Amino acid sequence: MDTMQAMRSIPLLVIEGPTATGKTGAAIRAARAADGEIVSSDSMQIYRHLAVGTAKPTEAERSSARFHMIDCVEPDEPYTVADFQRDARAAIVDIWQRGKLPILCGGTGLYIRALLQHFDFPPTEPAPREQIRARLEADLAEEGSAALHRRLAEADPASATRIAIADSKRIIRALEVFELTGKGISAQRRVDAMPEVQYNPVKYMLSRPREALYAGINDRVEQMISAGWLDEVRWIQARGYDPALQSLQAIGYRHLLAWLGTLGEGPTSRPLRDVVEEIKRDTRRFAKRQLTWFRRDAEAIWREWSDEEGLRAVTKEVCLSARRLREHRGCRI
């Protein structure tokens, strides 16, 4: 088997599901059982300094297993699904080439789907999109729609056959995409052809009965507050990070920043306890949306637990699958 052929069948254990369902603990035990390393698929854990409120693995947990895709960028640095796909793919290949089992673990369903289903994203733009569009619009004014349509027919015949000569808006959009990516606009959707890297995944979806899940979420929020979440938010505020940043729209951070006041005037007269209850409520609603998303994954093995004994049983099964995945599918090129 040559290197490229081998790289099309990387074994991958996936542990997904809503918040507060024991994913991290199961992933750590699976990593220890099968000599694996964990790739986080959490869209908020990639940001540095946001530790308590994103439930990042503790120092003790990180000493038990190696984690990737955590603390990658500053809170004011943009980070997209395409960035995650690129970086996570590289991490998985690296883990596998070193003879270890990659374990993808997290609750951001879009990140997981973009990686496993090989969504195709435009590469880094060689020039700002606005500059390209302005130039094409100037060409339209000077040359006319028919001339731009002929240009499109040469660059992207498939799009030209679908777009009318008089539809200048869509012509400009198609030419813009082609200049940015070197591909026709239809190619920016999901890639169905064989990608460079494919995976042989075994996916577990961890869940809990609704009442137990909500109780676990409430307990976790209380633990985060006790662990210094408010102090963490004060630290962020003191360094002048814009509360409108994508990173600070995470549940809890936006609530606590609003409570502290964005103008440096100190806490409002509203009781902190009311804010904490709002965080619990919004986290429960978020978990409900996560469940809706993950229920669409027909390939995942659904495992629900309601008590510690049930969690131990689920974790044992995940560890067994990790060992089998490593033994029977191999991990080396």
295 residue type, one letter: R
The reported pLDDT for the residue numbered 6 is 46
Q: Tokens at residue 47, please?
A: 């940001």
**CA–CA distance from 86 to each of 40, 122, 312 (Å)?**
13, 11, 34
| pLDDT (0 to 100) of residue 128 | 60
Give the C-alpha separation, 258 to 236, whole Å. 13
Question: Residue 162 has what pLDDT?
Answer: 84
Domains and CATH numbers, the chain: 3-120+193-329 (3.40.50.300), 129-188 (1.10.20.140)
SS (H, E, C) the chain: CCHHHHCCCEEEEEEECCCCCCHHHHHHHHHHHHCEEEEECCCCCCECCCCCCCCCCCHHHHHHCCEECCCCECCCCCCCHHHHHHHHHHHHHHHHHCCCEEEEEECCHHHHHHHHCCCCCCCCCCCCHHHHHHHHHHHHHHHCHHHHHHHHHHHCHHHHHHCCCCCHHHHHHHHHHHHHHCCCHHHHCCCCCCCCCCEEEEEEEEECCHHHHHHHHHHHHHHHHHCCHHHHHHHHHHCCCCCCCHHHHCCCHHHHHHHHCCCCCCCCCCCHHHHHHHHHHHHHHHHHHHHHHHCCCCCCEEEECCCHHHHHHHHHHHHHHHHHHHHHHCCCC
pLDDT at res. 333:
40
pLDDT values of the chain reduced to their tens digit, one per residue, 333 residues: 344 444 458 999 999 999 999 999 999 999 999 999 999 999 999 999 999 999 999 999 999 999 999 999 999 998 888 899 999 999 999 999 999 999 999 999 999 999 998 776 655 544 566 778 888 888 888 778 888 888 888 888 888 888 989 888 889 888 888 877 676 765 554 333 334 678 999 999 999 999 999 999 999 999 999 999 999 999 999 999 999 898 999 999 999 999 998 544 455 568 999 999 999 999 999 999 999 999 989 999 999 999 999 999 999 999 999 999 988 755 444
**Which amino acid, 144?**
G
**Is 0.85 topped by the overall pTM?**
no
Shortest CA distance to 167 belongs to which of 185, 181, 182?
Answer: 185
